[in-house]
Chains A and B, each alone.
Chain A
């Protein structure tokens, strides 16, 4: 198996609570990997550990073979891991265009003075960034509203915009934290198609946290189940669905 991301014995405590306890798994290049579990199981903490927002207590993280355990969030983003947030974290006072342009930061080089003087190289880069951003906005049908502040966008538009903002980083690994939260069944089906579409178009590997069982089962190649910070099952959707430990975690004895 060609592992893009290796999670090895990752542990994180918050005071007396062990949010993530000795979790190990590997995510293969090109797969859609689901992360499920009851509320408080440690799924979002695991995302925060992978993206460097929370430093791990112990254990190791390797991305494309390189150790990223101690890397800072911006370094991890620059390496090609992008994410969305459970409680949408767009730059709500800024325009849709600016939200996406900001995510091109690591792929552009215009310095302070060159940007102020608008040197030919700065103009060229600015044009390219604008085109790229508009292209991404077209993907979610928001190109007409490029100059509007995103705080006024509908919930669904904000969710989709946050995904394309992450795509602007040109990641190889995309982490989606409950992308379908608050959506109805039809919207979730459309989201499912959208996620498959962007995986093909951008050659992505995707890890997603999701509660909606049909969406996870239909979309994911493999699923990991967390409960009280521990990994209790890992396998294909069919395997996980019939795992007694998983049934117990969700339904109780």
Chain B
């Protein structure tokens, strides 16, 4: 069992990061806003942690990076991402639907190009040798796992509170929501800022976890991947994005393991090994065909609830 966790420590923590990023995309979506900006704030959060830990709070080599400093970095990343989201969101949220998605992709690109060219972000090389607070990759679960539980609890409770219902009203019918007294601008902005803060925090942890941080983190590809987690997992409840993020991140590794099953014909082995992306794409198409609302739907949750009570 131990060897399993050590072998797959990297994967398990990556799965929790994906689930968290999926939640960060889900938050604005709760208010009906299709924002693909999560990778931009993820990248910014990562650079904040990378710069702070390598230049501002250096530790002597060999000593573990103090945990409270990591928590401080996470707070700073959340604050900076939140303020930036406020500034960007005010003009961007005037756009609707796919136009907002395009504007947020532009933000992701701007952050990428800036980090490729700025001195402080290490240009194309990026920042490496980011100090480690933990001895093994699996230990990062203490941060990412707890963060996932707290975020899931936050979003679940939010869905059943006054502000969460205001988000849902905007998603259902923005015009009627306004006529019922909900301020569309500030409510959408709140949802956008919450999502950005979460993505920033995840970036800060991720930078330590990956040890290096560069312009390949948080790109347009990541936008699409995170969107796939939400769509396949289910975009109507907090659980959908989490399940989507966890499953889709584990999937390539599961396929790799399948390829190792003895007795398979060589063609199948090479397909499972090298055709992972094809399988991945086919699964995305199939699940949107057969589970158009995603794997986890509100009806499914209601059924579980009823069974739990009975």
By a beta-carbon cutoff of 8 Å, the part of chain A in contact with chain B is 51, 53, 72-74, 77-78, 82-83, 85, 89-94, 98, 101-103, 105-106, 108, 110-112, 115-118, 122, 125-126, 129, 165, 169
Contact = CB atoms under 8 A, between A and B. Distances in A.
A112 B179 CA distance: 21
Interface string B148-168: 000001100110011111101
B178 A115 contact: no
A103 B181 contact: yes
Main secondary structure of the interface of B (DSSP, over half): helix
B180 A102 contact: yes
A115 B181 contact: no
B182 A102 contact: yes
A93 B180 CA distance: 16
Contact of A74 (B154, B165, B184, B190): B184
B181 A169 contact: yes
For chain B, give the interface size range. Answer: 20 to 34
B157 A53 contact: no
Contact of B179 (A73, A110, A118, A129): A73
B169 interface: yes
B166 A102 contact: yes
Contacts of B182: 74, 102, 105
B163 A111 contact: yes
A91 B178 contact: no
A94 B172 contact: yes
Given A91-B172, A92-B172, A112 B163 contact: yes
Contacts of A51: 179
13 contacts: A51-B179, A72-B183, A77-B179, A77-B181, A89-B179, A102-B177, A105-B166, A105-B181, A108-B162, A110-B162, A122-B161, A165-B180, A169-B181
Contacts of B164: 115
A89 B183 contact: no
A89 B181 contact: no
Contacts of B181: 74, 77-78, 103, 105-106, 169
Which 3 A-B pairs have CB atoms at the shortest separation, nearest pair first? Answer: A115-B161, A106-B181, A91-B172
